[in-house]
């Protein structure tokens, strides 16, 4: 039997992002919300090889809801949990419906819809109960359904969070094709982006779309995370995450911290397997020994430089910044970790450039301690 994610390792990484985030999200939101609504706008299933469909986004999400419901019950919390699973392809929907018919312990509503023409119904589902918190997952195989003007009512659900797959590898491939109408997702930025090339173009596509998501949903924070192709030193797509609370950023960054090593390990194993398939010879050393990549390393280094510069400018232009406010400024940059932030603060403090108030014996600041960062001026 073929392993569930063989030859679609990028999907394994995407599903790991979703489930790891939900495992933290649901217990947090369940402490105060009386209803949690998980909405998968393009549920599939696609290319699933597991007869039980365990290798699908909706099955993994439902498993998380089951597990976290038990955890919340131990705390004396019992929010209702609902799932709206949407799929317009009739064959795929048939498999989805069969799966949902077997689910009796979680409220699931499979719908054979083109979700772009049922936006009002999605919003209605999200708002159907009082004190509900919806989590929206939009995971297309292309880009057409991501038009901001179409999905804006979903993005605007408040409270609510969204996770979107932006297929940058396909967008960059067809960007110059005028028949594709990329202005629907890149808007006024399209002419400028068309003049760019390579990494710079890809990064500006992501930045433009993330900014549109931020504006349409009035999200305070939007984080992005690139997912690499298994067998090429290139990004396949980005995960775009929108939230209105710094706690959401914390959870997403913790997810990212675990996902990045998982992605590299998954790619190393995929490349190891494909070398064996080509040569028929086993390798002396493990998958990690011959694993190489430069794209993600280059991407992380650039983001480190940008995040550091942005924080420095914020400090220089303010009398002081609460550490809790400085933290998300830096953490919105993909692949930038809290350890990077702490290294900069330590170095600036040692150089006499930074004062940290209310340290109470701690060498470096922590959130929720009322500590301020103050740039020393001559």
Whole-number Å distance between alpha carbons of 342 and 316: 18
Distances 362 to 204, 317, 324, 357 between C-alpha atoms, Å? 39, 26, 16, 10
Q: What backbone torsions phi and psi does residue 199 show, to the nearest 5 degrees?
A: -60, -40
| Alpha helices, H only, the chain | 9-29, 57-74, 90-101, 119-126, 148-155, 168-174, 183-186, 190-194, 198-217, 246-279, 295-316, 323-331, 338-350
Residues of the chain with pLDDT under 70: 1-3, 276, 283, 285, 359-362, 378
Express each pLDDT in 84-134 by its tens digit: 999 999 999 999 999 999 999 999 999 999 999 999 999 999 999 999 999
pTM reported for the whole predicted model: 0.94
pLDDT at 2: 47
pLDDT at 1: 35
Task: Yes or no: say if 321 and 347 are a contact pair by the CB < 8 Å rule.
Answer: no
Kindly state the tokens that stand for 137. 């997952």
Q: How far apart are the first and last CA of the chain?
A: 68
How many alpha carbons fall within 13 Å on the CB side of residue 346? 10
């Amino acid at each position: 039997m073929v392993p569930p994610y063989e030859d679609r390792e990028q999907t394994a990484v995407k599903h790991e992002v979703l489930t790891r985030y939900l495992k933290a999200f649901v217990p947090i939101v369940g402490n105060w919300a009386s209803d949690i609504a998980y909405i998968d706008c393009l549920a599939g299933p696609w290319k699933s090889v597991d007869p039980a469909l365990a290798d699908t986004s909706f099955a993994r999400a439902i498993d998380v809801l089951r597990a976290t419901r038990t955890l919340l019950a131990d705390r004396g919390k019992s929010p209702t949990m609902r799932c709206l699973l949407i799929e317009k392809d009739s064959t795929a929907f048939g498999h989805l419906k069969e799966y949902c018919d077997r689910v009796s312990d979680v409220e699931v509503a499979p719908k054979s819809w083109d979700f772009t023409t049922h936006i009002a119904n999605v919003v209605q589902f999200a708002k159907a109960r009082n004190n509900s918190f919806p989590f929206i997952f939009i995971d297309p195989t292309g880009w057409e359904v991501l038009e901001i003007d179409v999905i804006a009512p979903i993005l605007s659900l408040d409270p609510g969070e969204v996770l979107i797959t932006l297929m940058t590898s396909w967008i960059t491939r067809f960007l110059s094709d005028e028949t594709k109408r990329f202005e629907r997702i890149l808007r006024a930025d399209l002419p400028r982006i068309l003049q760019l090339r390579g990494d710079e173009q890809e990064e500006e596509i992501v930045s433009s779309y993330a900014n549109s998501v931020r504006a349409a949903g009035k999200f305070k924070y939007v984080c992005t995370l690139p997912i690499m192709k298994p067998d090429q030193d290139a990004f396949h797509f980005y995960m775009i995450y929108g939230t209105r609370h710094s706690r959401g950023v914390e959870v997403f960054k913790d997810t990212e911290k675990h996902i990045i090593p998982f992605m590299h390990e998954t790619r190393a194993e995929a490349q190891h397997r494909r070398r064996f398939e080509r040569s028929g010879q086993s390798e002396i050393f493990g998958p990690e020994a011959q694993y190489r990549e430069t794209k993600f390393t280059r991407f992380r280094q650039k983001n480190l430089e940008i995040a550091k510069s942005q924080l420095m400018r914020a400090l220089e232009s303010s009398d002081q910044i609460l550490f809790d406010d400085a933290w998300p400024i830096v953490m919105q940059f993909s692949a930038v970790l809290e350890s990077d932030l702490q290294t900069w603060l330590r170095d600036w403090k040692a150089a006499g450039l930074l004062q940290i108030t209310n340290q109470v014996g701690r060498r470096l600041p922590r959130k929720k301690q009322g500590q301020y960062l103050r740039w020393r001026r001559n």
